[in-house]
Amino acid sequence: MNMKELQFGLEVETLCDRVKAAKAVQSVVGGNIEHEGGTYDCYSVTDLRGRKWKIVRDSSLSNVPASRQAEVVSPILHYEDIPQFQEVIRALRNAKARVDGTCGIHCHVSAEHFNGRQLANLAKIFYKQEELIIHAFGVSHHRLQNYTRPLSDDFIREIETKKPQTKDELNTIWYGYHNTNPQHYDHSRYRTVNFHNVWYRGTVEFRFLEGSLHSGKIRAGLSLCLALAAKAINSKCASSKKRAYDPASAKYDFRVFLISSLKLNGDEFKNVRKHLLANMPGDSAWKHGRPQRAEA
C-alpha cells in the first residue's frame, strides 16, 4: 500500500464568520453554498465535482462568539487533491480567518485497508515515536490534558499481550468490552490517535495537529499521517518500545524516522521534512551534534 493510495479527510478549526468561510471555500472549489442549519449551524459547499464541503460551528472554539466558530470539514479526498486543499486554506486566510490555542486540525485516514493487526501496528509505531511527534508539532499542554491525550500505556500493553488480528478483537481492547454501538462523543476519542472512529466512522483520526492556516505545514502534517498509516499497513509487525525524547538528538532521530522508516525522502518531500523538523532541537545530520574542528 502506497500512502498516495489512501483516502483521507481533514477538519480545520478556524475563527471566522461561517458565511465568509463558505465563500472562501467556494472561491476555490466552485459550486453552490447552502445554509443547512441544524445543531452545528452548517453551511455547505457542493463543489463542481459533486463533493460536499461543510463549515460548522464548534463550541470548543471558546474564545470567540458562536458566529465566528468555523470548522471546515472536507469531503473524502485523494492525494492529488492536496494542492486544491492548500488553495482552500490560503483562501480562508485571505478571508481573515485566524487560529488561536483553542484550534486544532484533525486528519481522518480511511480504515478500509486495515485489519486488526495493522491497526495494532499503527498504535505501536505511533506510541514508540509519540514523544518526538508531540514535540515536533508543539502540542500544547492544555490539549494533551484534554482533547489530545497520549495513547494509553495500558492500551499498548493489552495489544502486546493479546496480539489482535481482527478489528473486533482490537475493539474489545480499545473500549475494554466489545462495543457494538459506538457513540459520537465516546470519551475514548480524545487521544493523539483516535481508534474509536474506526468503528464509529470508518476512519483512523489523528488529532495531534495544532491549529494552523499555513498550507505547507498542514500538508506536512497530512503527509506524516498518511505515511504512518501506510507503514502500519505494510509492516508484518512493529515495536512499541518507547523512544525517549532527547533534545540533543531529537532533530536527528526524527529525520531518520521520516526518511528511513516512513520513506518521506527525496525532493518531493523536502518541504515536508523542513516543516516537520522546524521545531526540533539538535542537528539533523549529526546525532550528537556537529563535530568541532580541531584547531591547527
CA distances from 57 to 66, 113, 190 (A): 7, 31, 19
* Predicted model pTM: 0.96
What is the distance of C-alpha 160 from the center of its chain?
A: 24
| pLDDT tens for the chain, residues 1 to 296 | 999 999 999 999 999 999 999 999 999 999 999 999 999 999 999 999 999 999 999 999 999 999 999 999 999 999 999 999 999 999 999 999 999 999 999 999 999 999 999 999 999 999 999 999 999 999 999 999 999 999 999 999 999 999 999 999 999 999 999 999 999 999 999 999 999 999 999 999 999 999 999 999 999 999 999 999 999 999 999 999 999 899 999 999 999 999 999 999 999 999 999 999 999 999 999 888 777 775 65
Where exactly are the structural domains of the chain? 3-234
Yes or no: say if 286 and 293 are a contact pair by the CB < 8 Å rule.
Answer: no
DSSP string, 212-257: ---HHHHHHHHHHHHHHHHHHHH-S----PPPPP-TTTHHHHHHHI
Residue 98 DSSP symbol: B
- Map residue 152 onto helix, strand or coil: coil
Write b or e for each residue in 202-231: b if 16 or more Cβ atoms lie within 10 A of its Cβ, otherwise e.
ebbbbbbbbbbbebebbbbbbbbbbbbbbb
